[in-house]
Amino acid sequence: MDATRVQAVPAGPLQATNGTPLWLLAELTYRCPLHCVYCYNPVDFALTERELDTEGWLRVLREARALGSVQCGFSGGEPMVREDLEILVAEAHRLGYYTNLLTSGVGLTEERAARLKQAGLDHIQLSFQDSTREMNDFLSHTKTFELKQRVARMIKANGWPMVMNVVLHRMNVDWIDKIIEMAVDLGAEYLELANSQYYSWAHVNRDHLLPSREQLQRAERITNEYRARLGDRIRMFFVVPDFYENRPKKCMNGWGNVFLTITPDGTALPCHTARMLPGLAFPNVRDQDLRSIWYESEGFNRFRGRSWMKEPCRSCPEQEKDLGGCRCQAYLLTGDAANADPVCDKSPHHGVVIEAVQKAQRPDAQRVTEHPLVFRGPKESRRLTEGKRVEA
């Protein structure tokens, strides 16, 4: 053994190794007791009816593990509404996944927490639900805070690492000091302060949600002050909305490279919002095994690598760095998923991003939007997608 080179390869957040789907995101259901205005579930989620049954999910877990998946996220909607959650967690654990539960904590009782621990659940990411009424609850430290305290105690009592996730936006970013203090009070070891990304419901509500530059700079400064003061006690991640960048993110670490999402009805996607892209057929695990889906399907191969690129990406020296950014953002903002992500200032469509950012600098930005805030829910979903059908 070569002991002079005893060191680990730092992989950080899951990096691509050989194009295996290291990350499996199991969106067990779109059902959710909450109505978050930035929800990334598709706007037409109410048209999806038939959820995969327990057997279907167990097969997904086995097939993805055989492909090399190591991280399994149980998400939704609210995954706690699935009564077979414990069965799925137990099988995922037995198969060798690191099991993550992404929940708002609603529905997590002492009994269920004990059963999930027994099943081998490794980690709970507790997110902050945050519609306006709930935000008021939170700011006044009433109902929501009590729920979070109760859930945080359960997380601690079961020996899980305490990871909190708060989606930031125009209406809550100014309270960042209160958010950080709450996370510290709850004993969180990690706090993700992730600015909303503008897809799905957040896209509908963008003018209400996109913070001003001043708001962002202030929030980042305050976060840094807390970092300096709190040191090792809590690790904080601050994610800036990419509308304020000049280069796009390397979305999902590359299309069909690391991430595999299975939606509640069994559709396999290279990212959780890709279903919105028109003209792309994504396979369903009811019809096809995951190996052929991952390696052979048109949906997963379409934007792999760089051969699909158009100008300015095709000749761009930075193409490897960001792979042209996000396909969904390109589609939402330019109408063509093969265009450069317009966050990039080399994109001829960059003006749409500039315009949204400029609008967000107005103090009355929320009042000049075309419609009031839209809360995620089945009724609104049907209204927004009237006449549209989803094949499942």
Which residue in the set 31, 56, 63, 67 belongs to the binding site for other proteins (CB under 8 A)? 67
Do 270 and 261 touch, CB atoms closer than 8 A?
Answer: yes
Q: Which is nearer to other proteins, 1 or 228 (CB)?
A: 1
71 binds other proteins (CB under 8 A): yes
Residues 6+ apart with CB under 8 A from 151: 105, 108, 126
Upstream peptide bond of 13 is cis (omega within 30 degrees of 0): no
Axis-axis angle for helices 110-119, 143-157 (nearest 10): 40
Cα distance between the two ends of the chain:
53
Q: Indicate the residue among 270 and 342 with the shorter CB distance to other proteins.
A: 270
Stretch touching other proteins by CB under 8 A, among 64-72, 111-119, 139-147, 317-325: 64-72
From 28-36, 96-104, 213-221, 338-346, span contacting other proteins (CB under 8 A) = 96-104
Tell the smallest beta-carbon distance from residue 341 to other proteins (Å). 24
Question: How many residues of this chain interact with other proteins, rule: CB under 8 A?
Answer: 34
Cβ neighbours for 217, distance < 8 A, ≥ 6 positions apart: none
Residue 7 found at the interface with other proteins (CB under 8 A): yes
171 near other proteins, judged by CB under 8 A:
no
Restricting to residues 303-342, which ones interact with other proteins according to CB under 8 A?
none
HSE (side-chain half, CA atoms, 13 Å) at 348: 8
If binding is defined by CB under 8 A, does position 96 make contact with other proteins? yes
Which residue's structure tokens are 């989620």? 45
Contact flag: residue 10 with other proteins (CB under 8 A): yes
State yes or no: residue 157 binds other proteins (CB under 8 A).
Answer: no
b (16+ CB within 10 A) / e for 249-275: bbbbbbbbbbbbbbbbbbbbbbbbbbb
Q: Does 61 help bind other proteins (rule: CB under 8 A)? A: no
68 binds other proteins (CB under 8 A): yes
Of 193, 189, 247, which is closest to residue 216 (Cα–Cα)?
A: 193
Contact 29, 81 (CB under 8 A): yes
- The answer to whether residue 5 forms part of the interface with other proteins (CB under 8 A) is yes
x/- letters, 180..199, toward other proteins (CB under 8 A): ----------x---------
Q: Which is nearer to other proteins, 233 or 383 (CB)?
A: 233
Which residue, 135, 134, 86, is CA-closest to 111?
Answer: 86
Binding site for other proteins (CB under 8 A): 1-14, 17-18, 20, 22, 67-68, 70-71, 73, 96, 98, 100, 122-123, 125, 159-161, 163, 190
